[in-house]
Structure 1
Amino acid sequence: MTAAREAVRPLRENRDFLLLWSGSAVSILGSTASTVAYPLLVLAVTGSAADAGLTGFVALLPMLLFQLPAGMLVDRCDRRRVMIVCDAVRAAGLASIVAALSFGHLHLWHILLVGFVEGTLSVCHELAAGAAVPNVVHPTQISAALARNEARERGATMLGTPLGGILFGFGRAVPFVLDALSYLVSLVTLLFIRTDFQAQRSTERPHVLAGVKWLWRNAFLRTATFLVAGSNLLFRAMFLVVVVMASEKGASAAGIGVLFGVAGGAGLLGSLAASWCQRTLSLRTTVIGANWLWALLMVVIVTTDNFLVLGLAYAGMWFVGPLWNVAVASYQLEITPDHLQGRVLGAVGMLAFGAVPLGSLAGGYALDALGPHTAALVLTGWMVVLAAAATFSRAVRQTRRHNRVPHDAQVQDPPSDRDAGRPALRGVADDR
């Protein structure tokens, strides 16, 4: 019996959700620490900054290449078993790095291979975990569960970033030992979970592009995904611009570190407020309002000469992010048929994360060609365009929240463009 059919109880009393949440929290903490340690390790082994950059690129490449096939995998196979296998193989890969370091035979190809495999399996693990949420918690608690997941990820990232550097100082292998152990902790928590991570499987043969087709036919989700891709490109470019602008305003390296620490804290606060905002604000208000708030804060960043004001505006942008994430992700999980969850999440992830490396590239070129202030002006214009697109989008303006259909019910195709503003779900379970 799935969580959707059980009596409603607080998330803090949902044993399976707490196990899934805590195991993932430990895993993200370890992964963040090793992400910081990887370039430090490559620099120590090869002395090449180019090799360090290559390592980061190879580790992130699966996020672009494998979202769609990973989505098909987690729809076709048992999602909990997929996550267990991913944790076991990732732990083994990191253990191989620790062993190679212990024997003094670690090579660049070894680091690249482990990074690529770990990145690939992380895509599968995250898609399976995301698709499992509607089956682990009650339908009325999806947004609250996603808000807690946002808080978990941002909190673990805040702690893991400095922890990776600190642990590397104690020994090159230490951060990777922590990461391997974190995957084992996640694996153990998964073994104790009793709830099925998916409804009864469909008899259809999964098609890798089914999620893309479903996403494209839903006017609101299609629009929201492109808006996310555009804002992700901007935020990645803005990261570099803020670093340079802060330096020009006299901020030290420590001061810049504090700035991003405060921004991370603002993101954590945003995740804590996200559930309340999701209950209080309409979906279209959140989508349109978030884009205009980002545009306004970008104007503040461009026009201020004060480092403190710049830092507060940048932190404000981080605060707004979880409000968007929880609102849109809740809607997506609520209306997507369970047998398509992995492929739809994969399609969204391919577009959203595919913009991240492009944003980094664009930010670097913009800084070199235009300088930080002009580059920030261009990015501000880009954000205003996105906000205007959200405002004038018929799909965004006419969307409204929908009652959730149980994920083991028969669900038909999503609404097409001409259905924007009508109920997104049709079928026997529609009790509106």
Structure 2
Amino acid sequence: MSSAAVNSEPEPSMRPEPLGGAFTKVVAANLSSSLGDGIARVAAPLLAVQLTDDPLLVSLVAVAALLPWLLFAIPAGVLVDRIDRRLALGLAGGVRALVAGGLLALHLTEALTIWWLLLVVLLYGVLETVYDGAIRAVVPSLVGRGDLPRANSRIEATEIVVQQFLSQPLTSWLLAISAAWALGLNTAAYAVAGGLALTLPAVASGVVARRRASRPADRPALQAPAATDEEPGRGAPPAVAGWRAELVAGFRFIWANPMLRPLWIVSVLIGICHAAITSTLVLFVLDRLDVPEAWYGTFMLAGALGALTAAATTSRLKARFGTGPVMAVANAVGLGAWFLAGAFPLVWVGAIAIFVSFGCTTTWNVLVMSLRQAAVPNHLLGRVHGTWRTALWGAMPIGSLAGGLLARTGYSTPLLVGATAGLLVAVAGHRYIATLPDPESLDPETPEPA
């Protein structure tokens, strides 16, 4: 073969392959939902501050948002694994639009109280358990394991841009003009998200994965506990016994996995500490840092910028240093930033701390999600995700309540105490976290490093 022939061959491109049109539709649907979530997350605490000046009642907004993960995440995961995941996304978006419309009506009739607000936030949380489980379970159906960090980073980046760069300042200013504009936009965003989800291709439904998993040859290891699953259901209708088995399937998978079990425990403990820090963060920013209410969302753009920076760089950091070391450093640095914000309550220190902490949290979330998606078989993703969030977000109301009580002694106290406790957990789990593998080294049927 001549050198000319060799030279005529095209060189392989170093650019990553596109993630595909189906994944682009997922991003589009998630974009609209993120707009609704962003408006709700900014509007709820600001409305609460207008309705009450009790830090404990303000912290209950965070409790109401997180409590559904304790009560409904596992049933939502079973639902996601049982029905068409596109339908789950559509229903979650549509019903949230109705709830948002109810909040708007309460405001227009001047009937809104702190208790109505807490109920609305609670309903948002219930529906979010379904939406979040479905959107996370859809992604591995559309991209390969090696592309999961890139795909999850793109989803995180979209959520950050919409929820924080767009929603935070927009919602703050709209509330300063009239809450009706913010709440009306919130209603429309959820409605559009529900409609877009229904246009996703059939591969996103999860039906193919469930059919494959139903073949005995495909899941001998997963079927091993079947005999013990049936014992508690003796004398019960088959459907009831089936639901019982499915409700515990996610927990059994996580607890039997030597990588996921300790990661789950560390995530829960760190999550409680972060909840204590952020449950009254709005009071710390408004009263301790003296940021005007109309500028609250703009100030919080520091966190949005940090999170967006992390979403854009996490894949490259993971490729250079490895998943475990990046997660271990991000965990400790983010908590340290919160401690500095509480110790030095100045606007510029708070802005830098929020930038760093939100960025580290985004890096952690992207890599944890990628590990979990790579380690779990597709037909179990909904149940494992629901079980994971049940303990993680279900325990966070404990931290939120603790933060509310600590804030009664001073708005800096939740940051100092929560960060200190979190750093102790980070130090204790550092060696384990630093040795976590990369997602592409995992086999979802036998989820340990290849």
Bin of the TM-score, shorter chain as denominator length: 0.7 to 0.9
User: 1:84-123: CA deviations, max 9, x gaps?
Assistant: 1222222233334445666x48566876655443321221
The alpha-carbon deviation at position 131 of structure 1 amounts to 0.8
2:326 equivalent to 1:292: no
- Give the aligned partner of residue 335 of structure 1: 375
- Give the aligned partner of residue 182 of structure 1: 189
| Greater alpha carbon shift after TM alignment, 62-71 vs 88-97 | 88-97
Find 1:72's aligned residue among 70, 78, 86: 78
- Give the aligned partner of residue 134 of structure 2: 128
Find 2:18's aligned residue among 10, 26, 30: 10
| Greater alpha carbon shift after TM alignment, 126-135 vs 73-82 | 73-82
- Give the aligned partner of residue 160 of structure 1: 167
What amino acid does structure 2 have at the position aligned with 1:385?
Answer: L
- Give the aligned partner of residue 277 of structure 2: 238
- Give the aligned partner of residue 4 of structure 2: none
SS in 2 for 1:351: helix
| 2-structure distance, mates of 1:294, 1:162 | 23
| 1-structure distance, mates of 2:288, 2:76 | 44
TM-score (norm 1): 0.79
- Give the aligned partner of residue 262 of structure 2: 223
State how 1:406-425 maps to structure 2 within 5 Å: 411-412=445-446, 414=447, 423-424=448-449
What amino acid does structure 1 have at the position aligned with 2:133?
Answer: L
- Give the aligned partner of residue 239 of structure 2: none
Gap regions ≥5 residues in structure 1: 1-7, 415-422, 425-431
User: 1:120-171: CA deviations, max 9, x gaps?
Assistant: 1221011010011001223322111100111122222212123223334554
State how 1:13-92 maps to structure 2 within 5 Å: 14-38=20-44, 57-92=63-98
SS in 1 for 2:255: helix
The 1:220/1:57 distance shift into structure 2, 3 A limit, reads same
- Counting aligned pairs with the same residue, the percent is 26
The 1:212/1:192 distance shift into structure 2, 3 A limit, reads same
| 2-structure distance, mates of 1:244, 1:183 | 28
- Give the aligned partner of residue 363 of structure 2: 323
2:142 equivalent to 1:141: no
| 1-structure distance, mates of 2:266, 2:30 | 28
- Contact 2:327 2:434 (8 Å CA) reproduced: no
| Greater alpha carbon shift after TM alignment, 115-124 vs 398-407 | 398-407
- Contact 2:40 2:186 (8 Å CA) reproduced: yes
| 1-structure distance, mates of 2:278, 2:415 | 10
What amino acid does structure 1 have at the position aligned with 2:149?
Answer: S
Gap regions ≥5 residues in structure 2: 1-15, 215-222, 224-241
- Give the aligned partner of residue 392 of structure 2: 352
- Contact 1:71 1:346 (8 Å CA) reproduced: yes
SS in 1 for 2:246: coil
| 2-structure distance, mates of 1:297, 1:401 | 26
The 1:182/1:48 distance shift into structure 2, 3 A limit, reads same
The alpha-carbon deviation at position 74 of structure 1 amounts to 0.6
The alpha-carbon deviation at position 186 of structure 1 amounts to 1.6
- Give the aligned partner of residue 11 of structure 2: none
State the superposition RMSD in angstroms.
Answer: 3.5
| Greater alpha carbon shift after TM alignment, 275-284 vs 171-180 | 171-180
Count of matched residue positions in the alignment of Structure 1 and Structure 2: 398
| 2-structure distance, mates of 1:170, 1:233 | 35
| 2-structure distance, mates of 1:83, 1:240 | 28
- Contact 1:302 1:376 (8 Å CA) reproduced: yes
- Give the aligned partner of residue 419 of structure 1: none
The 1:49/1:375 distance shift into structure 2, 3 A limit, reads closer
| 2-structure distance, mates of 1:226, 1:308 | 34
What amino acid does structure 2 have at the position aligned with 1:80?
Answer: R
| 1-structure distance, mates of 2:107, 2:283 | 36
User: 1:340-374: CA deviations, max 9, x gaps?
Assistant: 101111121122212432222222333445x5677
- Contact 1:335 1:405 (8 Å CA) reproduced: yes
User: 1:194-240: CA deviations, max 9, x gaps?
Assistant: 14222431448451011111111223222222222222222233346
Query: Taking CA–CA contacts closer than 8 Å with sequence separation of 6 or more, which of the two structures ends up with the larger relative contact order?
Result: 2
- Contact 1:127 1:346 (8 Å CA) reproduced: yes
State how 1:261-280 maps to structure 2 within 5 Å: 261-280=301-320
The alpha-carbon deviation at position 304 of structure 1 amounts to 5.0
The 1:303/1:123 distance shift into structure 2, 3 A limit, reads closer
2:388 equivalent to 1:382: no
